[in-house]
Structure 1
Amino acid sequence: MTSDTYDLPLGEGTVTASLSGCSVDVAVPPGGDPVDPHSAAAAALDDPHGPPLSAVVDPGDEVCLVVTDVTRATPDEALVGAMLDRLPVGRSAVTIVLGLGLHRPMTDAEIADGLGEYADLAVNHDPDAAVEVGRVDGVPVEVHPAVADADAVLATGMVEPHQYAGFSGGAKTVVVGAGGAPLIRHTHGPELLGQPGTRLGRVEDNPFRSFLDRAGDLAGPDFCVNVTHGPAGILAAAAGAPRAVVRDLADAAREALSVRVDGTYDAVIAGVGAPKDANLYQTSRAATYLALGAHNPVTEGGRIVIPASLPEGAGEGTGERRFRRRLADAASADGLYREMREGYEPGAQRAFVLARVLRDHEVWVTDSEHPDLVDSCLMHAADTVDDAVEPGSRVLVVPDALNTLVV
């Protein structure tokens, strides 16, 4: 088709690309009708997968509730409120752990924004303080002390496409979000990530997801409330046993987020927006989700173009710093990929997966606050989307790349 103008997310706003002289297709998933998160969570709690919350938590129990961090757009305040309304214990018996994994701690303002009236119950996870609760395949499963000491472990979660787990949510909120380095090192290592079943959009026969679920049998959650979302907002909620919750919402997400695309394109423009375009670590997901999904729409040697604000630069957490260092120190994507196949430290896996993509495609990041950073990390910076797309290109625009399954 003849190109016109296209609005793409950038931070909390948008940026416009004209793409003059290009042939442009747009991949927009069917989406669905949004629901009120609190009402949907309440309905899910009243009809859970497995035993109800009242059978999981007893009066007098100490409860630990693990929630997602600022990198996920989970309506945690609504989900926490729906659960606390049904708990047979008071607020003083509840500790909320912020599931950071190896990401940076959340600020007081972010905690207040995410949890509202429940912010005073929250503590940031520190992976260095995690304690072992058992082992899976010889790998230590370590969790935050509040998780280890709790009589009942609950969790929120966002079931959305995930590069390794197929879809996030379920046990992942606890065993990775509130977990320690050994499990993160194993699950995000080259041996597990290199297996063919470890891929975006796949839950069944996915070794990464299977390992998380088995770790969850040791560490929790005993019960979770998760949601999934589409372009219009939160689409559905499910509650109860983690495995069943993930499979239920993954089915809903696939229906809402899948787009069939024929052939390949010279350039694919991937929209990200807040909160994922806060740093380069999270932004790079757009490139790997597209190129390593069920159907790679980028021609060999083609470009993936991502407008991203990057106010945090590469990112401030341990994983983000390791990601940046690996890319910045590398002479080439192929050399980095071959080197990292021999192993790497927890958190650096995003550099490994991105290097896999960069062997075959260029990644351009536009409109950012840190173009020099982008250029130093085996990628290319440009002022605008139009500057990053060669005239006459065949272009696919994916306005919401992290929530679109190209099939």
Structure 2
Amino acid sequence: MTTVRVPYHRTHWNVEIPDENLVGILESKVNEFIPNLTEEEIVKKALDNPIGSPKLEELVVGKKDMVIITSDHTRPVPSKITMPILLERIRSVNPEIDIKILIATGYHRGSTREELIDKFGVEIVNNEKIIMHDSRDKESLIKLGTLPSGGELWLNKLVQETELLIAEGFIEPHFFAGFSGGRKSILPGIAGAETVLANHCSEFIASEYARTGILDKNPLHIDMLYAAKKANLAFILNVVINGDKKIINAFAGDSEKAHLAGCDFLEDIAKVDKADADIVVTTNGGYPLDQNVYQSVKGMTAAEATCKEDGVIIMISACNDGHGGQSFYDNLANASGPEEVLDRVLKIPRNETVPDQWEFQILARILSKFTVILVTDMYEPEKIKAMHMEHAYTFEEALEKAFEMKGRDAKVVVIPDGVSVIVR
């Protein structure tokens, strides 16, 4: 037996695969990359050496106010480290500047106070001005033109009301935007609902370029770059983290150039060669990304890239927060199967995209080719089955089910962290 350690919620599981079945363990090299600096030193070094931009301290001189965009509770941005450093540097040269922290919820729900404390620590939550973006609150939005795709660009009006707009975030492989980070702080981060929907239309999601690790010709990425420029995103701090959510590198400076440098670094260590398998075991990297089924689709796409058609994907994900979106759940549960979902969604015009459409479209694409067994002891099995997936409480139960479907000699691949790899 080979034992593989995989993340689950806030802990880890040891899963065992018979040696005669195991044909590969696909892992990013992020966990092998050992920096010679502490996490704080990595961040400070990046800020001291911005890419394509003056230093942050130079940008804030003479400004009366500024906005720092940061991710919400669904993203493992290590803000307990990055935000204090940003605030200290800003106030060291401009102690009177008015700073607002804008939570980029995108199309998600707002973060709770407890989730904000978990993200920032109680001191920042109690003492800083934190504003929760609401993509559906039209009064808080302003129209800034038309996206290359033709959709209207609505952003949080703070982008025009502030003198300086910066963002912090992290870079990871992204299952349809290519990579997270950079321009995604703006779109979908602080965009209006109709802008997010237009950008995430079925036509774009179906594009062969809207895949993990691809930016060139990616239609969603093109829209996102345009939105960042229109918002005047002046500076970013993006980090790369390992499987333990520790910072291993950081990139600061121009929102496009610094982001591309980070993507290039990550691609070098995250790319893995596919290994054809009948059964693929994957995860969503543990908390906070495995809180719901919606987010767990990301980890499934890594398995999709290496699983033989008609194979089985074993998705280990806590889903303690449920399905993650009512539209996501309803569009799957109310359909006879994934084929019906795909047939319907591909007929929806770009400007009529419905909430969560991109996520149920991708899950339906996966379910049309593979059987998915979702492993969790924190979410109702009947709801998982209603979304056309199988359920198992334990990994052992799931693997037994998979062997029953594919035979005792089935070839197995394990992807310990499905959101951290680029499978080619």
Alignment match, 2:294: 281
Please list the CA deviations of residues 230-258 of structure 1 after superposition, one character each: whole Å capped at 9, or x if unmatched: 33532211111111112111111112212
**2:152 maps to 1:135:** no
Q: 1:139 to 1:36 in 2, by over 3 A?
A: farther
- The separation in 1 between residues aligned to 2:256 and 2:239, in whole angstroms, is 14
Alignment match, 2:329: 324
Which of 396, 402, 415 is matched with 1:386 structurally? 396
Please list the CA deviations of residues 105-141 of structure 1 after superposition, one character each: whole Å capped at 9, or x if unmatched: 1111211221223223212111122222332234222
Between the two proteins, what is the percent identity of the paired residues? 24
- The separation in 2 between residues aligned to 1:167 and 1:259, in whole angstroms, is 16
Alignment match, 2:111: 106
The worse-fitting range, judged by mean Cα deviation, of 93-102 and 129-138 is 129-138
Alignment match, 2:124: 118
- The separation in 2 between residues aligned to 1:110 and 1:37, in whole angstroms, is 22
- The separation in 2 between residues aligned to 1:373 and 1:98, in whole angstroms, is 30
- The separation in 1 between residues aligned to 2:259 and 2:63, in whole angstroms, is 29
Task: Say which SS state the counterpart of residue 303 (structure 1) adopts.
Answer: strand
Which of 398, 402, 407 is matched with 2:419 structurally? 402
Contact kept? 1:279, 1:314, Cα under 8 Å? yes
Contact kept? 2:153, 2:195, Cα under 8 Å? yes
Alignment match, 1:46: 48
Task: Say which SS state the counterpart of residue 330 (structure 2) adopts.
Answer: helix
Alignment match, 1:86: 89
Task: Say which SS state the counterpart of residue 165 (structure 2) adopts.
Answer: strand
Structure 2 letter corresponding to 1:392: D
**2:243 maps to 1:234:** no
- The separation in 2 between residues aligned to 1:375 and 1:36, in whole angstroms, is 45
Contact kept? 1:265, 1:395, Cα under 8 Å? yes
Task: Say which SS state the counterpart of residue 82 (structure 1) adopts.
Answer: helix
Structure 1 letter corresponding to 2:371: E
Shift of 1:229: 2.1
Task: Say which SS state the counterpart of residue 66 (structure 1) adopts.
Answer: strand
Give the RMSD, CA atoms, in angstroms.
1.9
Shift of 1:20: 4.5
- The separation in 1 between residues aligned to 2:195 and 2:229, in whole angstroms, is 14
Structure 1 letter corresponding to 2:410: S
Structure 1 letter corresponding to 2:413: L
**2:215 maps to 1:203:** yes
* 5+ residue gaps, structure 1: none
Q: 1:357 to 1:90 in 2, by over 3 A?
A: same
Counterparts in 2 of 1:6-405, with a 5 A limit?
Answer: 6-20=4-18, 23-24=21-22, 25-31=24-30, 32-34=33-35, 35-52=37-54, 53-87=56-90, 88-90=93-95, 93-116=98-121, 117-119=123-125, 120-129=128-137, 130-137=141-148, 138-231=150-243, 233-262=246-275, 264-272=276-284, 273-291=286-304, 296-315=305-324, 320-343=325-348, 344-370=353-379, 371-389=381-399, 390=403, 391-405=408-422
Contact kept? 2:277, 2:411, Cα under 8 Å? yes
Q: What is the TM-score normalised by the length of structure 1?
A: 0.92
Please list the CA deviations of residues 279-302 of structure 1 after superposition, one character each: whole Å capped at 9, or x if unmatched: 1111121112332xxxx2101100
Structure 2 letter corresponding to 1:125: H
Shift of 1:225: 0.5
- The separation in 2 between residues aligned to 1:204 and 1:111, in whole angstroms, is 35
* 5+ residue gaps, structure 2: none
Task: Say which SS state the counterpart of residue 74 (structure 2) adopts.
Answer: coil
Structure 2 letter corresponding to 1:26: I
- The separation in 2 between residues aligned to 1:196 and 1:79, in whole angstroms, is 35
Structure 1 letter corresponding to 2:99: V
Q: What is the TM-score normalised by the length of structure 2?
A: 0.88
Please list the CA deviations of residues 120-171 of structure 1 after superposition, one character each: whole Å capped at 9, or x if unmatched: 3212111122222332234222222323311111101111101121101111
Task: Say which SS state the counterpart of residue 222 (structure 1) adopts.
Answer: strand
Contact kept? 2:328, 2:355, Cα under 8 Å? no
Please list the CA deviations of residues 93-116 of structure 1 after superposition, one character each: whole Å capped at 9, or x if unmatched: 010011111112111121122122
Task: Say which SS state the counterpart of residue 402 (structure 1) adopts.
Answer: coil
Contact kept? 1:42, 1:82, Cα under 8 Å? yes
The worse-fitting range, judged by mean Cα deviation, of 127-136 and 39-48 is 127-136
The worse-fitting range, judged by mean Cα deviation, of 69-78 and 329-338 is 69-78
Shift of 1:327: 1.0
Please list the CA deviations of residues 312-366 of structure 1 after superposition, one character each: whole Å capped at 9, or x if unmatched: 1112xxxx22111111111111110110012231322100111111111111101
The worse-fitting range, judged by mean Cα deviation, of 386-395 and 53-62 is 53-62
Task: Say which SS state the counterpart of residue 236 (structure 1) adopts.
Answer: strand
Q: How many residues align?
A: 396
Contact kept? 1:98, 1:124, Cα under 8 Å? yes
**2:3 maps to 1:5:** yes
Q: 1:21 to 1:44 in 2, by over 3 A?
A: closer
Shift of 1:21: 7.5
Shift of 1:64: 0.8
- The separation in 1 between residues aligned to 2:166 and 2:238, in whole angstroms, is 11
Contact kept? 2:182, 2:256, Cα under 8 Å? yes
